[in-house]
Amino acid sequence: MRKSVLLIMMLVTVSMAANAQKFALIDTEYIMKNIPAAQSANEQMQQATKKYQSEIEALAKEAQKMFQDYQAKSSTLSAAQKTKKEDEIVAKEKAAAELKRNYFGPEGELAKMRDKLITPIQDDIYEAVKAISQQYGYDLVVDRASAAGIIFANPRIDISDEILRKLGYSN
């Protein structure tokens, strides 16, 4: 609610100050869906995510099984054996957490894959938006996909198809 009020106040202020300014709208989700390389990149990332997740789940299941075995046999184990088993379980859980971080962390494999596959496409979209904005004199281009505060926008200010044409994709 607070964000909505702030957004409305900001839009009113901007609209009063923007009498002669030109605005445009894009939908990056729509644009990405119409770029075959982006679709291929998303599929590759989804496959990698499934593969990584299954590896992590396998390690977690091993740790869970080790714990269950430990619980079942704990009454027959010596203190040293218990400590050894507990350490093994903790090591397996740490290995699963480390693997998860290596795959899904900010510097993980998925982030590297995203940088390699998606970022160049996003950079091309940005350059096309910039070129069209300069060509037609747009002062502001808003992305409808990431602007949750947009309730309605006139379709005539949506330049998503023009961006696709600039990138060499016609729809």
pLDDT in tens, 98-143: 999 999 999 999 999 999 999 999 999 999 999 999 999 999 998 8
- Can you give the pLDDT at residue 164? 93
Residue 7 confidence (pLDDT) above 70: no
Beta bridge partners of 142: 25
Each residue of 59-73: pLDDT tens digit? 999 999 999 998 998
What percent of the chain lies above the pLDDT cut of 70? 87
111 close to 105: Cβ distance less than 8 angstroms: yes
Nearest-angstrom CA–CA distance, 156 and 104: 40
Position 50 confidence tier, pLDDT thresholds 50, 70, 90: very high
- Can you give the pLDDT at residue 15? 62
- Can you give the pLDDT at residue 148? 72
- Can you give the pLDDT at residue 100? 95
72's tokens: 């079942």
Mean pLDDT of 17-45: 88
Q: Which amino acid is at 80?
A: A
Element (H, E) at 99: helix 79-104
Strand segments (E) across 7-163: 23-26, 140-143
- Can you give the pLDDT at residue 153? 77
C-alpha 140: how far from chain center: 24
Q: Is the model's pTM score more than 0.75?
A: no
18's tokens: 């923007």
Residue 144 confidence (pLDDT) above 60: yes
DSSP 8-class letter at 20 = T
